[in-house]
């Protein structure tokens, strides 16, 4: 199908697909097993300028946007959703800088991010503050020209590997979510250490780690936006980044369909390929249709963001919700198509099913996405009725 991509976007798709086939495919099983971070792939992505596709030309990027990022993430995830996260999670961590950074901050950090010299992580979640972001306990106290951060962040993608972290902490707990602020913290800052590295079901080539802050002093110049804007920074970041999760989900689903279709054409039962059986045909047809619908929604939302649409929370949540649910259904069906072989690690669909599950959970569970969608529907209806 023609997705009306620009020549630059077509090139991004082609180079990402080439990297996925030639560089990621040979190592995905090994890295999934060993949980080794894919630094060799980071280097290849950097050399191909894919880390800068959503960053402005003034800061070393290619001047694209969210759609460019989604295209790259989708193609990489088609082969390995876990390895693709080194790019997608860096974008999540960089979006606060892109959206709220001042000129000095952008010039200091974005060029190295765009060049792939520095990967980034976004640190919001804590053990008692996942969906309830207002329950954050990590604190940041102003002390002269610095802020002193104390607390622990949990399940941070790229944790321990990233060189730059955007961290949300409470500067005034009495104000609830309005007392949160966002900071840039560099790896190696005294008082900033790494705790437990998680042993995960899926996306095992991606590092997920605990961040520990003990009297970690960062310059006041590292504050993103203003004090009290941390929750806004986080929510606006998610509005821009959730299509990236959705693209990851679409890529994983497409990869699973690719494997299921290839297997069904080769596997014979009762003297003929199983793809000739109507039951299998209907499964494949439903899988393909769901993927196409998810991709169309993701691209539409990404284009709206790139066009400057400000009120995008509902649509961004829809893209993440729909695409991740599709990825889960499609990967489960792909395992079913392969039967007993699908359950074996020798074939990649069991890994794709494991990888797909997290897309329904991180950057806001799908229950939270439904809450966001419903609350926006109510607001829109009230505005129409003048209530």
- Active site members: 363
- What backbone phi and psi angles, to 5 degrees, belong to 226? -115, 165
SS3 of 156-213: the string is EECCCCCCEEEEEEECCHHHHHHHEEEEEEECCCCCEEEEEECCCCCCCCCCEEEEEE
- Helix 66-77 and helix 81-100: axis angle, to 10°? 170
CA distance 148 to 283: 55
Structure-block tokens of residue 25 = 């495919």
Residue 216: its H or E element: strand 208-219
CA distance 117 to 39: 11
Structure-block tokens of residue 204 = 């095992």
Cβ–Cβ under 8 Å, residues 69 and 53: yes
Q: Are strands 164-170 and 120-123 parallel, antiparallel or unpaired?
A: parallel
% helix / strand / coil in the chain, to the nearest 5?
Answer: 60, 15, 25
Residue 287: its H or E element: helix 278-306
């Amino acid at each position: 199908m023609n997705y009306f991509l620009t020549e630059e976007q077509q090139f991004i798709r082609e180079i990402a697909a080439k990297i996925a086939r030639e560089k990621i495919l040979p190592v995905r099983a090994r890295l999934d097993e060993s949980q080794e971070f894919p630094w060799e792939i980071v280097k290849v992505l950097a050399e191909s300028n894919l880390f800068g596709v959503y960053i402005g030309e003034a800061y070393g990027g290619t001047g694209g946007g969210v759609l460019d990022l989604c295209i790259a993430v989708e193609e990489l995830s088609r082969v390995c959703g876990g390895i693709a996260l080194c790019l997608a999670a860096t974008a999540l961590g960089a979006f606060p800088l892109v959206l709220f950074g001042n000129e000095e901050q952008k010039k200091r950090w974005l060029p190295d991010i765009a060049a792939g010299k520095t990967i980034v992580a976004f640190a919001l979640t804590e053990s008692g503050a996942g969906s309830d972001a207002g329950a954050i306990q990590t604190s940041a106290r102003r002390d002269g020209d610095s802020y002193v951060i104390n607390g622990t962040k949990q399940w941070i993608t790229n944790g321990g590997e990233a060189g730059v972290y955007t961290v949300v902490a409470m500067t005034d707990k009495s104000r609830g979510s309005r007392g949160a602020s966002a900071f840039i913290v560099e790896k190696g800052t005294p008082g900033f250490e790494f705790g437990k590295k998680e042993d995960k079901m899926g996306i095992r080539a991606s590092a997920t780690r605990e961040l520990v802050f003990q009297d970690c002093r960062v310059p006041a110049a590292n504050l993103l936006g203003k004090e009290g804007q941390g929750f806004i920074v986080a929510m606006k970041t998610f509005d821009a980044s959730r299509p990236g999760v959705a693209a990851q989900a679409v890529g994983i689903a497409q990869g699973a369909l690719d494997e299921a279709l290839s297997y069904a054409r080769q596997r014979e039962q009762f003297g003929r390929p199983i793809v000739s059986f109507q039951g299998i045909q209907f499964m494949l047809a439903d899988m393909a249709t769901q993927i196409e619908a998810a991709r169309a929604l993701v691209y539409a939302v990404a284009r709206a963001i790139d066009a400057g649409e400000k009120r995008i929370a509902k649509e961004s949540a829809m893209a993440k919700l729909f695409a991740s649910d599709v990825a889960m259904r499609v990967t489960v069906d792909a395992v079913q198509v392969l039967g007993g072989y699908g359950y074996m690690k020798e074939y990649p669909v069991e890994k794709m099913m494991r990888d797909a599950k997290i897309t329904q959970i991180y950057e806001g569970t799908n229950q939270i996405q439904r809450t966001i969608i419903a609350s926006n529907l109510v607001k829109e209806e009230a505005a129409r009725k003048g209530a």
